[in-house]
Amino acid sequence: MNNSDFTPRDNFSSKFGIIAAAAGSAVGLGNIWKFPYVAGQNGGGAFLVVYLLFVVAIGLPVMLSEFSIGRRAQRNALGSFKKLAPGKPWYLVGVMGLAASFLILSFYSAVAGWTLEYVFRSVTGVFSGTKEQDFEYIFVSFISGTWRPLFWQLLFMALTAWIVMAGIKKGIEKYTKVLMPLLVIMIIILCIRSTTLPGAAEGLAFLFQPDFSALSTDAVLGALGQAFFSLSLGMGTLITYGSYIGKNNNLSTTVVQVSAADTIIAIMAGVAIFPAVFAFGIDPAEGPGLVFITLPNIFQQMAFGGFFELLFFVLLAVAALTSSISLLEVVVAYFIEELHMKRITATIFAAVMITILGVFCTLSFGVMSGVEIFGMIIFDLMDFTASNLLLPLGGFFIVAFVGWYLGSELSRREISNEGQLKVRYFPVFMFLVKFVAPFAITLVFIYGLGLLRI
Ligand code: PFF
């Protein structure tokens, strides 16, 4: 084991550093690329309502549980369960988390690669003068290629690995602090341009006027998966980050701040996208290409559009990077602490394996598009298995662990910093982790997977 890396444990250096790193993990492609596209496929407003409900009733308690487990155990995700429940099968939750981070990073890096291509296109100015209807064709012909998307994916994975190698403090904190606020400003500018386009009102109505008759059980499972995905929950990312949080941090404040930031940014992305989708006559159920087709269209309608476009895609790539490093860190921290590898070897080993899986995700839009498993191309299969199955299942066991195994006394001590903080909401938290969250996840699973029909 490389002792310089982990004894004493590498901690985040400031309160803002923790929030920046956790929010950096949460805010990413999930908010800006995935949220608008799954909301678009699942009816808009009604999806948003269910999503918000899940964030509050399930997301918040799962996040607080993850931070508490990690900080209590001071270990990686899998090691934390081993330490807090020695000799018990709870560590399997950590194993599931490792699997989820492999699957997620494999398709995440594919999409992050697309953002790099769009950075490149903004630099070279290839979009200028493109007609509205051509953006879809441009996007589809790019992702269905072979070498170009693979090149960007590889580059993105190399960047991720490079930062993770530098270790948690030097790498993660530094990049997040400055660039996240800039991204928010860019999204606000996009919101303003999008909502002032002719025909924008229809898009706002789509997002904010719920039509519950359009809500399927699939959509409810999708909303649950999206809440977990967007908040980086259910696979031990925030257990791992929790282990780097100092003993005097107020965990519940951090949880509320991170979740609020993540949710607000997702909604803002929706406000930036949907008015333009309707104004340009794009299909809201377009799928994974939605933002890549819509945004260049908006930039065309803006003064200094080319410059803003470049800035936006650079920031989106950075947001993706601060999330992907958190995904890779889950695996790397496990390799270092449990398998006693050096940080550098662990990072390279994990990154190479994930990239191999990632190649299949990228090719599933092109030469491998004919390969379907359970009716899904490889890319969608990875996403569905990880986001809609593994993460909620992981979340179920994480809250159950805190609620039923650690129990009220230990959890209260951890969350209240050994009694230093007042935690008046604690009984509500306990009620949510013991009953509400496990029950709601079970119910959504039963119906979402079609085990029972309504
Ligand atoms: N939350 C990230 C996003 O919204 O882009 C993706 C993600 C990161 C999911 C880390 C899960 C995770 F553990």
How are the residues of the chain apportioned to helix, strand and coil, as percentages rounded to the nearest 5?
75, 0, 25
- Tell which atom from ligand 1 comes closest to the C-alpha of 229: 9
Tell which one of 93, 176, 229 to mutate to probe ligand 1, the residue whose CB is within 8 A of the most ligand atoms: 229
Tell which one of 35, 224, 232 to mutate to probe ligand 1, the residue whose CB is within 8 A of the most ligand atoms: 232
Per-residue b or e along 303-316, where b marks 16 or more CB atoms closer than 10 Å to that residue's CB: eebeebbbbbbbbb
Separation of CA 387 and ligand 1 centre (Å): 10
Tell which one of 231, 237, 321 to mutate to probe ligand 1, the residue whose CB is within 8 A of the most ligand atoms: 237
Q: Is 131 left (phi over 0), alpha (psi -120 to 50) or beta?
A: beta
Nearest CA to ligand 1 atom 4: 30
DSSP state of 31: I
Contact 378, 360 (CB under 8 A): yes
pLDDT on residue 4? 35
Q: How far apart are CA 134 and CA 196, in angstroms?
A: 22
Contact 374, 36 (CB under 8 A): no
Nearest CA to ligand 1 atom 11: 232
Contact 186, 308 (CB under 8 A): yes
Separation of CA 149 and ligand 1 centre (Å): 21
- Name the nearest CA neighbour of 384 among 143, 221, 230: 221
Separation of CA 385 and ligand 1 centre (Å): 14
Separation of CA 372 and ligand 1 centre (Å): 25
- Name the nearest CA neighbour of 239 among 80, 437, 408, 99: 80
Contact 241, 21 (CB under 8 A): yes
Q: How far apart are CA 303 and CA 161, in angstroms?
A: 37
Contact 279, 204 (CB under 8 A): no
pLDDT on residue 175? 67
Separation of CA 25 and ligand 1 centre (Å): 6
Q: How far apart are CA 257 and CA 17, in angstroms?
A: 13
Structure tokens at 421: 């903080």
Our measurement of the distance from residue 116's CA atom to the centroid of its chain's CA atoms, rounded to an integer in Å, reads 18
- Name the nearest CA neighbour of 325 among 186, 195, 232, 440: 232
Contact 352, 344 (CB under 8 A): no
Nearest CA to ligand 1 atom 10: 232
Q: How far apart are CA 9 and CA 75, in angstroms?
A: 9
Owner of token pair 């031990």: 236
Separation of CA 187 and ligand 1 centre (Å): 19
Owner of token pair 């530094």: 174
3-state secondary structure 146-205: CHHHHHHHHHHHHHHHHHHHCCHHHHHHHHHHHHHHHHHHHHHHHHHHHHCCCCHHHHHH
Q: How far apart are CA 69 and CA 290, in angstroms?
A: 37
- Tell which atom from ligand 1 comes closest to the C-alpha of 28: 5
Half-sphere exposure of 90 (CA within 13 A, CB side): 24
Contact 112, 322 (CB under 8 A): no
Q: How far apart are CA 270 and CA 61, in angstroms?
A: 25
pLDDT on residue 9? 61
Owner of token pair 């996007």: 139
pLDDT on residue 1? 34
Residues with CB under 6 A from ligand 1: 25-26, 28-31, 104, 229-230, 232, 235, 237, 323, 326-327
Separation of CA 399 and ligand 1 centre (Å): 19
pLDDT on residue 176? 72
Separation of CA 453 and ligand 1 centre (Å): 31
- Name the nearest CA neighbour of 107 among 30, 219, 25, 21: 30
Separation of CA 30 and ligand 1 centre (Å): 6
DSSP state of 340: -
- Tell which atom from ligand 1 comes closest to the C-alpha of 30: 4
Q: Is 15 left (phi over 0), alpha (psi -120 to 50) or beta?
A: alpha
- Tell which atom from ligand 1 comes closest to the C-alpha of 324: 8
- Tell which atom from ligand 1 comes closest to the C-alpha of 319: 5
Q: How far apart are CA 120 and CA 127, in angstroms?
A: 11
Q: Helix (H, G, I), strand (E, B), or coil: what is residue 231?
A: coil
pLDDT on residue 21? 82
Contact 103, 357 (CB under 8 A): yes
Nearest CA to ligand 1 atom 7: 232
Terminal alpha carbon distance of the chain: 53
Separation of CA 10 and ligand 1 centre (Å): 22
Owner of token pair 């990632």: 358
Q: Helix (H, G, I), strand (E, B), or coil: what is residue 377?
A: strand
Distances (CA, A) of 150 to 212, 356, 361: 40, 11, 10
**Is 1.10.4160.10 the CATH number for 3-448?**
yes
Return the beta strands (E) in 299-431 as ranges.
372-373, 376-377
Q: How far apart are CA 395 and CA 426, in angstroms?
A: 19
pLDDT in tens, the chain (454 residues): 333 333 346 677 677 677 888 898 999 999 999 999 999 999 999 999 999 999 999 999 999 999 999 999 999 999 999 999 999 999 999 999 999 999 999 999 999 999 999 999 999 877 777 777 788 999 999 999 999 999 999 999 999 999 888 865 565 666 677 788 889 999 999 999 999 999 999 999 999 999 999 889 989 999 999 999 999 999 999 999 899 898 999 999 999 999 999 999 999 999 999 999 999 999 999 999 999 999 999 998 888 888 999 999 999 999 999 899 999 989 998 999 889 999 999 999 999 999 999 999 999 999 999 999 999 999 999 999 999 999 999 999 999 999 999 999 999 999 999 999 999 999 999 999 999 999 999 998 888 787 766 5
- Tell which atom from ligand 1 comes closest to the C-alpha of 320: 5
Structure tokens at 403: 């609620």
